[in-house]
């Protein structure tokens, strides 16, 4: 069917659908013999179609029928429906009252999973979320994230309440680094308990894939998890770890908006590795991972040096490594991942990406998402090498004073985190990676999500939240 023929057909279908809804809305539940479950279904459909007055009449009719027949399950469903309706129409008191009645009924019937979900929905109506905490033990530092989770209509809302970190060098695998890591976790766990009172069941402590990669070389993962465990840590809290593929999938889940998950890619260039991926047509996550990141690539380059390297020698060695072997590994990795290359959007994160966004687009400091191009990344690579002093002191004169101050503070954090060689290392690696990603569709948008640094731990929390309900259902 041609587009011209299709449009009138679609319009006719929409008109007929609207007429049907209008007819239903004008004749609320007149058939006394209509089964209660059918009335409930009609009410839910009307609510989704935003026919709220008619939906309320149908829910109330279902309520009357359920009371008359003493069917507590249908009664709970009717109160649940009214709770959802009043929530959508911003009638807080009525929503809370309806949810409370539904929760009591569902619990009495043994439907504890539904009751728990409704408790969360009730908290959302009251403006109360549930707090989750994640402590990420990385190769270069320990990060604490406290996230408020609100169950939304179609997608959860995740609000970052706290993000703080302590720089350590856990990857050094020395007595000193173990003590620093132990002290950092102890301090952050203390903040978590005293300031936020996040329950142990919603507190997760995880060794990142980059650090696990280093620990695996010496078979020290379990030893490390035990040696860094604070004495006052609740026994219920286990110190776990994630593999690079698991971290890639969690980053994807935590960073890419749900509406874009079937049409976008994600890549995180970390300190120790690069990981990301995409969902294929069958909704299976396909990981894209490389054992090199900003710091690990820098160490590789430095290991090829004879004595101290000048910046010029460092650059030439890095480019030779790319040309001799790493480019081929990228090409081979993407051979069976054509879908990744054809997508229009890549959510790009990691310390080096943060550096590029901060120094190349300092005026966008207030933007949650900063769009980058392949040209931005290539220009950054050139400027780190040839015009470093100018790069780290961008012109902020056209910004208002408040934004300029925030941007300047952010730039200072970048410079304190990465020296010139680290920036050059990350830029060379990322520039080559982006060139390979762009071989089929060179017009991609690369989007830096500013809060992506809590991406995989957010994904971990999202995953745990989901499993919390599926496990309850299984039991």
Residue 472 lies in a domain: no
Same domain (yes/no): 38, 135: no
CB atoms < 10 A from the CB of 128, how many? Answer: 12
Residues of the chain with pLDDT under 50: 1-32, 153-154
> Can you give the pLDDT at residue 183?
95
Return all residues near 450 (Cβ < 8 A) that are at least 6 apart.
357, 367, 368, 369, 370
Residue 328 lies in a domain: yes
Same domain (yes/no): 283, 388: yes
CATH number of the domain that residue 82 is part of: 1.25.40.10
> Can you give the pLDDT at residue 18?
45
Residue 276 lies in a domain: yes
> Can you give the pLDDT at residue 248?
83
> Can you give the pLDDT at residue 473?
54
Residue 475 lies in a domain: no
> Can you give the pLDDT at residue 468?
61
Q: Measured between alpha carbons, how far is 455 from 267 in angstroms, rounded to an integer?
A: 11
Residue 264: strand pairing partners: 345
Same domain (yes/no): 318, 434: yes
Same domain (yes/no): 110, 134: no
Task: Please give the structure tokens belonging to residue 80.
Answer: 């649940």
> Can you give the pLDDT at residue 158?
65
CATH number of the domain that residue 403 is part of: 3.30.420.150
- Please compute Rg for the chain using Cα positions: 27
What residue numbers bound the domain in which 298 lies? 245-458
DSSP-derived 3-state class of residue 208: coil
Same domain (yes/no): 263, 228: no
Residue 4 lies in a domain: no
Q: Which of 125, 156, 184 is the last residue of a domain?
A: 125
Given a contact cutoff of 8 angstroms between Cβ atoms, the answer to whether 170 and 221 are in contact is no
Residue 6 lies in a domain: no
Same domain (yes/no): 69, 108: yes
Residue 451 lies in a domain: yes
Which letter does DSSP use for residue 257 in this model?
-
Instruction: Classify the C-alpha dihedral 171-252-347-361 as positive or negative.
Output: negative
Residue 471 lies in a domain: no
Same domain (yes/no): 260, 293: yes
Return all residues near 164 (Cβ < 8 A) that are at least 6 apart.
143, 144, 188, 191
CATH number of the domain that residue 137 is part of: 3.30.420.40
**Tens-digit pLDDT profile for residues 227-245:** 999 999 999 999 989 888 8
Same domain (yes/no): 237, 249: no
The model carries a pTM of: 0.68
Same domain (yes/no): 346, 269: yes
Note the helical H segments in 294-438.
Answer: 294-303, 311-321, 327-333, 338-342, 351-360, 374-386, 388-391, 401-417, 420-437
Strands 285-290, 130-137: pairing kind: unpaired
Secondary structure E strands in 272-344: 274-279, 285-290
> Can you give the pLDDT at residue 474?
58
Q: How many domains does the chain have?
A: 3
> Can you give the pLDDT at residue 10?
34
Same domain (yes/no): 443, 367: yes
Same domain (yes/no): 411, 266: yes
CA dihedral of 437, 442, 443, 447, whole degrees rounded to 10 = 20
Strands 264-269, 345-350: pairing kind: parallel
Same domain (yes/no): 320, 427: yes
Give the residue from 246, 430, 461 showing the smallest Cα distance to 350.
430
Owner of token pair 């026919």: 51
CB atoms < 10 A from the CB of 67, how many? Answer: 13
Owner of token pair 């009138």: 8
């Amino acid at each position: 069917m041609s587009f011209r023929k299709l449009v009138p057909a679609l319009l006719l279908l929409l008109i007929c659908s609207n007429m049907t809804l209008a007819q239903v809305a004008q004749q609320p539940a007149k058939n006394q013999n209509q089964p209660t479950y059918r009335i409930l279904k009609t009410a839910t459909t009307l609510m989704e179609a935003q026919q709220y007055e008619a939906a309320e009449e149908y829910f109330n009719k279902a309520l009357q029928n359920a009371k008359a027949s003493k069917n507590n399950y249908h009664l709970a469903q009717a109160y649940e429906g009214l709770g959802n309706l009043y929530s959508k129409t911003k009638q807080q008191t009525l929503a809370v009252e309806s949810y409370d009645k539904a929760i009591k009924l569902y619990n009495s019937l043994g439907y504890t999973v539904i009751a728990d979900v409704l408790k969360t929905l009730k908290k959302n109506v009251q403006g109360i979320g549930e707090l989750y905490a994640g402590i990420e033990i990385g190769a270069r530092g320990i990060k604490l994230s406290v996230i408020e989770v609100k169950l939304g209509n179609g997608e959860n809302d995740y609000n970052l309440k706290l993000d703080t970190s302590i720089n350590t060098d856990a990857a050094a695998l020395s007595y000193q680094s173990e003590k620093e890591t132990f002290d950092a976790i102890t301090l952050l766990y203390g903040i978590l308990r005293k300031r936020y009172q996040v329950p142990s069941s919603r507190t997760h402590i995880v060794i990142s894939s980059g650090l696990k990669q280093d620990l695996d070389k010496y078979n020290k993962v379990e030893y490390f998890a035990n040696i860094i465990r604070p004495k006052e840590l609740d026994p219920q809290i286990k110190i776990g770890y994630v593999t690079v593929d698991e971290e890639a999938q969690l980053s994807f889940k935590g960073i890419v908006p749900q509406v874009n998950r079937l049409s976008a890619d994600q890549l995180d260039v970390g300190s120790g590795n690069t990981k990301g991926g995409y969902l294929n047509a069958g909704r299976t996550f396909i990981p894209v991972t490389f054992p090199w990141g900003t710091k690990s690539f820098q160490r590789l380059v430095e290991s090829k040096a004879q004595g101290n390297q000048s910046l010029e020698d460092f650059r030439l060695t890095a480019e030779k490594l790319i040309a001799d072997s790493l480019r081929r590994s990228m090409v081979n990795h993407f051979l069976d991942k054509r879908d990744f290359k054809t997508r229009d959007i890549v959510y790009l994160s990691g310390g080096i990406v943060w550096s590029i966004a901060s120094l190349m687009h300092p005026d966008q400091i207030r933007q949650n998402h900063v769009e980058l191009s392949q040209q931005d990344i290539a220009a950054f690579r050139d400027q780190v090498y040839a015009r470093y002093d100018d790069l780290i002191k961008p012109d902020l004169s056209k910004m208002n004073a408040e934004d300029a101050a925030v941007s300047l503070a952010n730039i200072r954090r970048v410079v304190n985190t990465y020296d010139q060689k680290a920036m050059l290392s990350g830029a060379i690696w990322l520039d080559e990676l982006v060139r390979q990603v762009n071989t089929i569709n060179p017009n991609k948008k690369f989007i830096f999500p500013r809060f992506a640094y809590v991406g995989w731990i957010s994904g971990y929390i999202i995953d745990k939240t989901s499993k919390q309900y599926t496990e309850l259902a299984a039991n």
